[in-house]
Every structure is written in structure tokens, then in C-alpha cells.
Amino acid sequence: MRLEHNTSRRIEAMEKDNGELAATHCSHRLPLSAITLSHPSKELSTNILRLRTANPLVRSLSSLSYHLYTLWLFTYSSHKDTVYPSVAFAASTALSSPFNFSVHPSPITILTSLFTSLLWAWLALLFFSLHNQHHPSSVLEDAINKPWRPLPSGRITTSQTRVLLLTCYPVWGGISYHFGCTRQCVGLTLVTLYYCELGGCQQGGFMRNLLNALGYSFFFAGALQVFISMGNNGVVDLEMGVDVYEGKPLVWLIAVCALIFTTVHAQDFRDEEGDRARGRKTVQTTLGDAASRWLVVVGAGLWSVVVSVMLELEWVVVSVLLALAACLGWFMLPCLLCERTVEKDVRAYKAWIAWAVAVILAPLMQTVVDHVWVSQGG
């Protein structure tokens, strides 16, 4: 017992000496306040904030990225249904054999043409979005449907938006003039002013569809004109067969805009709550939910057949169009049989976009089939 007691006392003494030694050693290295560090992410955020405020270059780049992201948010929700279809229409029409454009670009020129068409279409969308989002009623609607947009989220004020809009006029107009699409710029400006500033968006559902179709016609024609001018090394000469408002290209443009007119209200189902808050009339409120959904589905099927006959498409391309039209019906019609949700309407709208883009790309798909599949005896 005495041995165990002595051993315990020795162990306690050794632990005490080791503790004092460790404390003395630490006191020579770091104070206790330095040992107790804050969370690494908090410390990193603090250092980044100090760097932004201390370095003028970093501060300028940070401000630039903030403003560029604000511009991006103005147009974000419409990229997939406006900009990308416009560029797809431009590339598909310019590079397809049915339209016989005198454009024989190299791969580098094709990439340059795609980028330039994308830039023009995005600037056109920014111009429209600034007009469409700066009104108080638009901010109220966006606060319900899209609260992340610049105005309802407080990233920019209404007066700053108006200044930005006035700046957009000469920038977009000058670029349009350079690429020979002044007519498309003027036409889209007139449609935008009527739709956003003169109450056109408050018209009945089919009137809104008509304005949407007209707007798309100028988006598509402008992007195509830019693509063709870049394919001719930036030279715009309407006497050399590069005018998009003549012959087969004009007929094709009218057909695409007609199918948009009859089916574009697929985008309205997802925004029904905001439309009601704003008192906006849509095809859905005019015909009823069931009839308007059937119009989209049946219209997609009929237009797939019409386009196939008009372009004399091979069965492979026809099958793609009909399959996507059936997919659209698969997503759209169940909303009539079960509970509707915004998520289901968003999926149905994405299916409509996929079908519409496939129709737009049909001439290019046919050209690929002609050169690859048919030429090999398929």
C-alpha cells in the first residue's frame, strides 16, 4: 500500500512538472490568444476583404465583376428560350443546303460567327429585359416569380436601370449597323416599346403570342444576318444573296414564327401566380387551362409534320421531331390529370424549348443526313 501511495505521488509530481514545462515552452513560442485561432473560413474571408479594400486593382476588378453579373441577371432567365434558339436558327439556316447561302466558312470562321451572333442576340435580349423589368409593376411581379433579379434583389436602382437602358441604345444600335441588321434592330425596338412601354403586354393572350412571334422573328433574322456577314469575312452585301428577307429563308422564318405564335404560351403556365398578381391576360386565362395545354401539344405535333413536308426531311429527322413533340405531351398533359406544380410546368416548358430548338435545327440535321447517311447508301 505504501509503495502504491509513493508511486502515485511521484506520478502526480511528474505530471505537474511536465505541465509547467509545457506552459513555459508555449509561453516562449506563442501567447494563448494566438493559439486560439478563429475559424479558417472566417479568417480567409477577412483577409480577402482587406485585400479588396487595400488593392485598387482588385477593388476595380471586384466592382467590374459585380456589374457584369448584374447585367447577366437581367437576362439570365431568357437565355435558353431566346439567345440560344436565335443562334441555333442562325447557324442551322446559314449552313444548311436548302437555303443556298453563298457562305463557305472555315471552322474558325464558324466559331467566330457563332460567338458574334451570340453577342448580338444577348445585347438585344439585354435591351428588351431592361425595358421589361424597370417598371414598378414588373418589379412587383419579379418579387414573386424571380426575386433574384437585379431590381427586386436591390442590386441596382430604377434610376440606374434607366441610365443603363439609354446607354444600351447606341451600343446595340451601332453593333447592329456594323453587321447589316439595322432593320432587325429597328423592328425589335418598335416591338419592345409597344410591348413594354405602351401596354402591349396587357393585351389579350393571343395578342401577346403575336408580339412574341414578331419579337422572335427579329431575334432570329438579326442573328442570321450577323452570322452570314461574318461568314463572308464581315462584308455585308445584300446584292450577293445574303439578305434574310428573300426567298426560302423568308418562308422558313415565317414558318418558325407561326409555330411560335401557336405554342409559345407554354412559357406562361410556370408564371401563373405572378401574371395574376399583375392582372395580365394570357392564353391560359382566355381559353382555360385545359384548352391552352392541348393547343401546345397538338400544335407541336402538327407543326412537326408541316416542317417535315416543307423541308422534305428524311425519316430520321422526322422521327426526332415527332419524338420530342410526344415528350412535350408527356410532360404537359399530366398536369390536367393530377395536381399542378410550378416544377411540373417548368419541366413542360423545357420540353417545349427542346422541341422548338429541334425544329429550328431540322435543316442542319437534314444536311448532315444528306452528307453522311444518304451518301453512304443508308
Considering only residues 343 and 12, tell me which one the structure prediction assigns the higher pLDDT.
343
pLDDT at residue 239 in the model: 40
pLDDT at residue 355 in the model: 92
Residues 239-268, mean pLDDT to the nearest whole number = 82
**Stretch (H or E) spanning 128:** helix 107-133
Top-confidence range, 61-70, 163-172, 310-319: 163-172
Contacts of 183 (CB under 8 A, 6+ apart): 221, 245
Lowest mean pLDDT among 50-54, 248-252, 283-287, 352-356: 50-54
Alpha carbon of 318 to those of 86, 98, 301, 321: distances in Å? Answer: 22, 16, 11, 5
Place of cell 425589335: 188
pLDDT at residue 241 in the model: 47
Domain residue extents for the chain: 76-376
pLDDT higher than threshold 70 for residue 288: yes
Q: Which amino acid, one-letter code, is at 47?
A: N
pLDDT tens figures, 87-140: 999 999 988 877 766 556 678 888 888 999 999 999 999 999 999 999 888 888
Residues 301-312, mean pLDDT to the nearest whole number = 92
Mean pLDDT of the chain: 78
Considering only residues 23 and 78, tell me which one the structure prediction assigns the higher pLDDT.
78
pLDDT tens figures, 196-230: 888 877 777 788 889 989 999 999 999 999 988 87
pLDDT higher than threshold 90 for residue 11: no
pLDDT at residue 109 in the model: 82
pLDDT higher than threshold 90 for residue 189: yes
Cα–Cα distance, 187 to 4 (Å, whole number): 101
Cell of 218: 427579329
pLDDT higher than threshold 60 for residue 36: no
User: What single-letter DSSP state applies at residue 239?
Assistant: G
pLDDT at residue 45 in the model: 44
Cα angle value 154/158/163 (rounded, 5°) = 125
User: Could you give phi then psi for residue 199, rounded to 5 degrees?
Assistant: 85, 15
